[in-house]
Structure 1
Amino acid sequence: MKRGIGLLVLATILWGGNYICGRFLASALPATLLNTVRWAISTVILFGLLAIKKKRIPIFVMWKEFLILGFFGIFAFSTLNYMGLRLISASQAGMISAANPIAILLFSLLVLKEHISGKAWLGTLVSLAGVILLFQGKHVVSASSSVFGEIETLLASLAWGLYTVFGKKYGKDTDPLTMTAGASFYGTLLSALSCIGTVQPGMIHMTVSAWLAVLYVSTLASVCAFYAWNAGVKMLGASKAAPYINLLPVCTVIFGVLLLKEQISGTSLAGGLITILGAVLATL
């Protein structure tokens, strides 16, 4: 139990850093290419770990399961987040990510047929009100803040909810490392295909710092975080794991203020706090 909780907390902290790097890399790489490079490196590492453990990955036998996980968790979730971070601040994106546990609850009901309590539905409504208020707030630092960036980040939350519940469903047949590697393989292929016709050489502006950021998102925010999350979900279950994703917006805001010197408007802060409050209420 304690080990599962520790893994979930570690995953959210590492993902908080991913938002910071995603914002930092917004001008260095197109979102689709960033996600492709990130997960291509991660896939090589994951397959290497499986080889060390002498495990064979059923890349073709479980292609359907891996493709679904790769689409929602690797391709859609990550790409949409990086697209959103080109238009809004890391702190704002982090607060919108408070909708993640709500998405997990809803899809746990629809996909896993898990029972959702009345308190959970009340928390969902509170979080929805917070998201609406958050969308009304204007970020102080980013003049390019756009509703499109907010929508992209919110869609990423929905993708994460589907990834989590499908991960719980398919996790019964495989271990977390194999599941993450399989999803990474197919997610990378989808990301690479999305680069066709959308990426031009002139859109790439890499520096030493940018490469270090790519290294972080490819290892700690990918391999380590996804493995930790999948392992934690397998130990505790999707609905019990949901509350721990509430740490993500908190970590992201703290990192954004300390590392990127971001500032948050009163309306955005209020909306974010209400969203987090609703998520906590929904997942108690």
Structure 2
Amino acid sequence: MKRGIALLVIATILWGGNYICGRYLADALPPTLLNTVRWGISTVLLAGLLALNKKRLPVFAKWKELMLLGFLGTFAFSMLTYLGLRSISASQAGMISAGIPIAILLFTPLVLKEQIRGKSWLGAFLSIAGVIVLFQGKSGSASHASFVGDIEIMLSCVAWGLYTVFGKRFGKTIDPLTMTAGAALYGTLFSALSCIGTVKPEMIHMTGTAWLCLAYVSTLASVGAYLAWTAGVKAVGAGRAAPYINLLPVWTVVFGVLLLGEHVSWVSLSGGVLTIIGAVVASL
């Protein structure tokens, strides 16, 4: 049990680091190219894991399911996240991402036809109120670009919510590793297409640190986090594992302050805490 919990915590730490690296890479690579390279490398690694497990990737047999998951989880979620990180801090993005469990909650009745309890709706209300407070905390000095960044991160939460519920629906016939590898493959294709007309050589400014960040998001924040989370869920069970995803915004804020020197106002921090509390209530 303790090992399973440790793996879940490690997964959220690795995912939190994605926001930090994404913020740093905002000035080094166009988001479209960053997403393409990241998931291209991840696809190769995931395909290798499939081969080791003697599994085949049903690229054509399950193309509809994998293409939808690739568009939502690999392309839309990651692309919107990297776009948002160009204009807002990693801490701010992390606190907004606390709304991911709420997005999952809202789409569950529509896609999975599952009934949601009253306590979960209370948690959703608290999280939405927290996001509103988050925006109020920066309304005095918020620029148009910053506002757009907030919206892009919110839309990324919507994309991941849809990815999660459709993943649960398709999970009846596709195992998690195959699903992740397939989504990575199709998401890479969408990302590569988005590079057309959006990438120019003068937009690339790679440094030694940028290369390390790119290696991190392509391996540890993708494949490493997936393996840790999957093993943790297997050890403690899906029900007990779900609330641990709420550690993601906590780590993002901590890393943003310590590694990037970001400042978080008390109003924004209060909104972030309220959002996380609402997500925890909804998850329990």
TM-score interval (norm. to shorter): over 0.9
Aligned to 1:210: 210
Question: Does the C-alpha gap of structure 1 residues 149 and 33 become closer, same or farther in structure 2, counting only changes over 3 Å?
Answer: same
Question: Does the C-alpha gap of structure 1 residues 111 and 233 become closer, same or farther in structure 2, counting only changes over 3 Å?
Answer: farther
- 1:103 and 2:103 aligned: yes
Aligned to 2:63: 63
Aligned to 2:79: 79
Letter in 1 for 2:187: G
Aligned to 1:51: 51
Aligned to 2:39: 39
Counterpart CA distance in 2 for 1:79 and 1:73 is 10
Q: Quote the offset at 1:33 in angstroms.
A: 0.8
What is the root-mean-square deviation in Å for CA atoms of aligned residues? 2.3
- 1:27 and 2:16 aligned: no
Aligned to 2:137: 137
Question: Does the C-alpha gap of structure 1 residues 60 and 211 become closer, same or farther in structure 2, counting only changes over 3 Å?
Answer: same
Aligned to 2:12: 12
Q: Quote the offset at 1:142 in angstroms.
A: 9.4
Letter in 2 for 1:21: C
Counterpart CA distance in 2 for 1:164 and 1:182 is 15
Counterpart CA distance in 1 for 2:243 and 2:6 is 13
Aligned residue pairs, count: 283
Post-superposition Cα deviations, 1:140-165, rounded to whole Å, max 9, x if no partner, equal: 99988611000000100111111111
Aligned to 1:253: 253
Question: Does the C-alpha gap of structure 1 residues 278 and 10 become closer, same or farther in structure 2, counting only changes over 3 Å?
Answer: same
Post-superposition Cα deviations, 1:51-106, rounded to whole Å, max 9, x if no partner, equal: 22322111110111111111111000000000000010000000000101101111
Letter in 1 for 2:167: G
Letter in 2 for 1:149: G
Letter in 2 for 1:165: V
Counterpart CA distance in 1 for 2:111 and 2:254 is 34
Moved more, 98-107 or 110-119: 110-119
Counterpart CA distance in 2 for 1:141 and 1:49 is 47
Contact 1:88 1:142 in 2 (8 A): no
Question: Does the C-alpha gap of structure 1 residues 179 and 265 become closer, same or farther in structure 2, counting only changes over 3 Å?
Answer: same
Letter in 2 for 1:213: C
Q: Quote the offset at 1:173 in angstroms.
A: 1.6
Aligned to 1:166: 166
Moved more, 242-251 or 179-188: 242-251
Length-normalised TM-score, structure 2: 0.92
Question: Does the C-alpha gap of structure 1 residues 105 and 93 become closer, same or farther in structure 2, counting only changes over 3 Å?
Answer: same
Aligned to 2:178: 178
Q: Quote the offset at 1:112 in angstroms.
A: 1.2
Identity across aligned pairs (percent)? 70
Q: Quote the offset at 1:120 in angstroms.
A: 0.9
Letter in 1 for 2:226: F
